[in-house]
A and B are shown apart, each in its own frame.
Chain A
Amino acid sequence: MKRNVPLAICLGFGIVMMVQFFVPHPISVGFYDLTTKWVRIVSAFALVLGVGSFLMYHTEKLRRRRTGWLYSIVALVAAAVSTVVGLAWGVKQTSPLQNYIFTPLLVPLNASMFAILAFYMASAAYRAFRARTKESALLLIAAFIVMLGMVPLGAAIWHRLPDLAEWILSVPNMAAKRAITFGVALGGIATALKVILGIERGWLGGGKQ
């Protein structure tokens, strides 16, 4: 019961959804739409687990006065305030959640964290782009050409450089990506099949049968 029923549910839905793919009949399409909604709903409930873990992690830190416990108060208060504001006034474009939390807090934090990548690209390139081997030399040269081809300076050096950059992107780069895609797809499908068939069942966890 504790292991076999979940395995059977997994097997059943796995097979049904595979079959569904080939059946254009309205009943089949309706089933797909319905279960898609179900998955969304069920996944939404899982947030409870996440929030539980979040609360546990930070209250523990607070209780034991571990290093940085003060910041846990920041996280807990921020979460509490935004939850209350969000649930009380809703999430519409004009709601306080959007105006006072999303726009002034989340948007800049998000954008800054994303923008920090520009700096990391520079330091990663400096550290790793060394022509130690033939392979890393190739990586370096390709990166160089494409980077030059993307800015006006590249065209000033040699007017065909942007074309060369585009060629690298659309010919060798494309070929490598396609080959990776083939491997990834087969690897992924085999993994999915093993999960459906119950050969990979790590997700069940251990413990009592």
Chain B
Amino acid sequence: MKFFQYLLKIDRRIIYIVMGLLVTLPLVKPLGLGVTSGPRAARLFQAVDSIPAGKTLLISVDFDPASMPELYPMLTAVMRHAFAKNLKVLLCGLWPTGMGLAIKAATDIPPEYGKKYGEDVVYLGYKPGVDAVILGMGENIKNVYPYDYSGRSLDSLPMMRDVQRLRDIPMIVALSAGTPGYSDWLAYAQSRYGMKVGTGLTAVSAADAYPFLQSGQLTGLLAGMKGAAEYEVLVQKSNYSKAYMPAVAAMDSQSLAHVVIMILVIIGNIAYFVTRKRRS
């Protein structure tokens, strides 16, 4: 009885410690609590997988550090997939605050596959103006971005010889945390230049994109950390990568956190009903 009364007013700090530990643990040592791949992520994976080797995949980094836990793992997973399939990766972005993240990915990932900057991957940087940038890239990428993010002329980068404008690129994956983002790529790049558009979004904004998926305008969608984890698993399963999977680890944390909260609620209710019965 006393035990239940104690439970009812359990020190919140115990709750915090338990939760903190259980969330941290899987990050250090992923458990792989069975992330299964949903159809939306599978569609994106298939689309990227079916691009012939040597072609270029465009990835738009439209998010800032605040959405990094959800969207950055998507960026690395899609890049790993592309490099494993011998695709080239062109990065660009509609958010100025996304530059640091794109640079990080462009430096960290290619060496894993022996890929080189300029030959297999190029980051264009950020240019203000959304529709003007996309439409300009449709005409000629060099008009919008004469130089890459670090000021190297695009003419000096061998990869850009085959990629003149959006029509040379079969598909774009827009990783967006809001607007501007995938909707702009749909509105301009898809309707005008017929590009395939796939997207990765934060969990909060994913629901808005489902109609586009149903109408077939979007080729696949990764929703939040779960979507990122699904993609990581797909990449791993196909033996494209053996790297640490941050989103899968995060999903484990996520699962444990949800379970902790639910167990807490159950314990709280048991204690509540037991003490109430005794009292009455």
The yes or no verdict on A and B being binding partners is: yes
Contact surface of A with B, Cβ cutoff 8 Å:
93, 107, 111, 118-119, 121-123, 125-127, 129-132, 140, 144, 147-148, 150-153, 155-156, 169
CB within 8 Å for A151 and B258 given contacts A111-B66, A122-B19: yes
Taking a contact as CB atoms closer than 8 A, the residue among A123, A126, A153 that contacts B258 in the complex is A153
A169 to B273, CA, bound (A): 29
Interface string of B232-259 (1 = CB under 8 A from A): 0000000000000000000100110111
CB B194 to nearest CB in A, in angstroms, measures 32
Q: Does B20 contact A (CB under 8 A)?
A: yes
Contacts of B107 in A (CB 8 A): none
Q: Does B211 contact A (CB under 8 A)?
A: no
Contacts of A155 in B (CB 8 A): 36
Taking a contact as CB atoms closer than 8 A, the residue among A107, A123, A150, A169 that contacts B16 in the complex is A123
Contacts of B212 in A (CB 8 A): none
A140 to B261, CA, bound (A): 12
Instruction: Please list 12 pairs of residues, one from A and one from B, whose beta carbons are closer than 8 Å in the complex, sorted by A's number.
Output: A111-B66, A118-B23, A119-B15, A122-B257, A122-B260, A126-B264, A129-B268, A132-B272, A152-B35, A152-B251, A153-B34, A169-B207
Taking a contact as CB atoms under 8 Å apart, the answer to whether A126 and B262 are in contact is no
Contacts of A126 in B (CB 8 A): 10, 12, 15, 261, 264-265, 268
Contacts of B15 in A (CB 8 A): 119, 122-123, 126
- When C-beta atoms are compared, the residue in chain B nearest to A130 turns out to be B272
Taking a contact as CB atoms under 8 Å apart, the answer to whether B251 and A118 are in contact is no
Main secondary structure of the interface of A (DSSP, over half): helix
A122 to B13, CA, bound (A): 11
Taking a contact as CB atoms under 8 Å apart, the answer to whether B262 and A148 are in contact is yes
Interface string of B61-85 (1 = CB under 8 A from A): 0000110000000000000000000
Taking a contact as CB atoms under 8 Å apart, the answer to whether B255 and A152 are in contact is yes
Taking a contact as CB atoms under 8 Å apart, the answer to whether B268 and A127 are in contact is yes
CB B264 to nearest CB in A, in angstroms, measures 4
Q: Does B146 contact A (CB under 8 A)?
A: no
Q: Does B143 contact A (CB under 8 A)?
A: no
A147 to B226, CA, bound (A): 13
Taking a contact as CB atoms under 8 Å apart, the answer to whether A153 and B255 are in contact is yes
- When C-beta atoms are compared, the residue in chain A nearest to B99 turns out to be A93
Taking a contact as CB atoms under 8 Å apart, the answer to whether B16 and A147 are in contact is no
Taking a contact as CB atoms under 8 Å apart, the answer to whether A150 and B36 are in contact is no
Taking a contact as CB atoms under 8 Å apart, the answer to whether B262 and A147 are in contact is yes
Closest 3 CB pairs of A and B: A151-B255, A126-B264, A123-B12
A64 to B36, CA, bound (A): 62
Taking a contact as CB atoms under 8 Å apart, the answer to whether B251 and A150 are in contact is no
Q: Does B153 contact A (CB under 8 A)?
A: no
Q: Does B269 contact A (CB under 8 A)?
A: yes
A144 to B251, CA, bound (A): 18
Taking a contact as CB atoms under 8 Å apart, the answer to whether A150 and B258 are in contact is yes
Contacts of A122 in B (CB 8 A): 15-16, 19, 257, 260-261, 264
A119 to B21, CA, bound (A): 12
